[in-house]
Amino acid sequence: MLYYVIDAFTETKFGGNPAGVVIHENLNENFMQKFAAEVRFSETAFIKKIDYLNFEIRFFTPTSEVDLCGHATIASFKALLDSGIINDNNRYFMKTLAGTLPVYVNDSFIMMEQAEPRLGKTFKDYQTLSKIFKVNNNDIGDMKYNLVPQAASTGFWDIMLPIKSQDALYALNPDFKELAKYSSINDVGGVHAFTLDTKEGVALCRNFCPLFGIDEEAATGTSNGALTYYLFKNGIINNFDCDYIFLQGHSMGRPSNIITKLINKNNPRIMVGGKAVILTKGELI
């Protein structure tokens, strides 16, 4: 069995978000969960080849399995490309708990189509949110647009939390125990905080998911896919078939660039992608 450590959404080692990747033939779920807990990456992907175009991929945090993970998908197809199992410049399909989704590999740049985009309930309990994140009520929202916190998903539910300024975003200091409780009560994985107060990219982001054993992540593909749809539905972005750049990980010293794209005007879907760098690889014994 091949094992990789790969930094996703970056072109630089020790940037982006690291993921473990295991290419196997028939591991059981118990081993997968124990292995993910042992290596303690935010997500570890386990890949089983179905045929030359189709792969089953399961994603585990240190504490549980999740339906879909963007950065671990990017890492997975980087590992498949490096191992010679797939070829560059082709389309593949991955079977996940979020459905069977297409992945495009072009000149080592990896783009995945997300699951059906959806918006959920809005959250107007600003006092609760401000207490959890230790932020002033007035810092929640946007200086220009009428944005409110709202659940969104392209395969994994998060609360999109608009913050008015970069300073306020970087000052967030969540009570992770309370955030985990709040996430569980509201049937979401965590909170994707963002600000449009940036001269680079569409938004600066921070992602918190303590319910699944991840206090903060440096790059989250599914969350930025959901944010793309949230911004589209709020009329902030509206161009199809062009790249949008989201910046994340700066607060952790692991800068990440996540590329998203709106496709299919008649039935909008979101694509998410980026590059990846192999840090190490070897064999599991």
Q: What is the pLDDT of residues 22-63, one digit of tens each?
A: 999 999 999 999 999 999 999 999 999 999 999 999 999 999
- Work out whether strand 150-153 and strand 158-162 pair parallel, antiparallel, or are unpaired: antiparallel
pLDDT at position 242: 96
Containing structural domain, residue 239: 118-254
Q: Judge if 127 and 246 occupy the same domain.
A: yes
Q: Does any domain span residue 108? A: yes
Taking 90 as the threshold, does the pLDDT of residue 285 lie above it? no
Q: Judge if 174 and 97 occupy the same domain.
A: no
What is the C-alpha to C-alpha distance for residues 254 and 248, in angstroms, rounded to an integer? 8
Q: Judge if 30 and 125 occupy the same domain.
A: no
Q: What is the pLDDT of residues 148-191, one digit of tens each?
A: 999 999 999 999 999 999 999 999 999 999 999 999 999 999 99
Looking at the structure of the chain, the number of domains it has is 2
pLDDT at position 76: 98
Q: Tell me the percentage of the chain whose pLDDT exceeds 70.
A: 100
Q: What is the pLDDT of residues 87-115, one digit of tens each?
A: 999 999 999 999 999 999 999 999 999 99
Q: Judge if 83 and 29 occupy the same domain.
A: yes
pLDDT at position 47: 98
Q: Judge if 240 and 167 occupy the same domain.
A: yes
pLDDT at position 168: 98
Q: Judge if 52 and 135 occupy the same domain.
A: no
The CATH number given to whatever domain includes residue 8 is 3.10.310.10
The pTM score is 0.95
Q: Judge if 77 and 135 occupy the same domain.
A: no
List the structure tokens of 120. 């959920």
Q: Judge if 106 and 167 occupy the same domain.
A: no
Sign of CA dihedral 90, 85, 66, 43: negative
Taking 90 as the threshold, does the pLDDT of residue 282 lie above it? yes
Place of tokens 């992540």: 217
Q: Does any domain span residue 269? A: no
Q: Does any domain span residue 68? A: yes
Q: Judge if 130 and 237 occupy the same domain.
A: yes
Q: Judge if 123 and 59 occupy the same domain.
A: no
Burial readout 107-140 (b: 16 or more C-beta within 10 A, e: otherwise): eeebbbbbbebeebeebeebeebeebbebeeebb
Q: Judge if 161 and 86 occupy the same domain.
A: no
Q: Which residues are catalytic?
A: 43
Q: Judge if 76 and 139 occupy the same domain.
A: no
Q: Does any domain span residue 54? A: yes
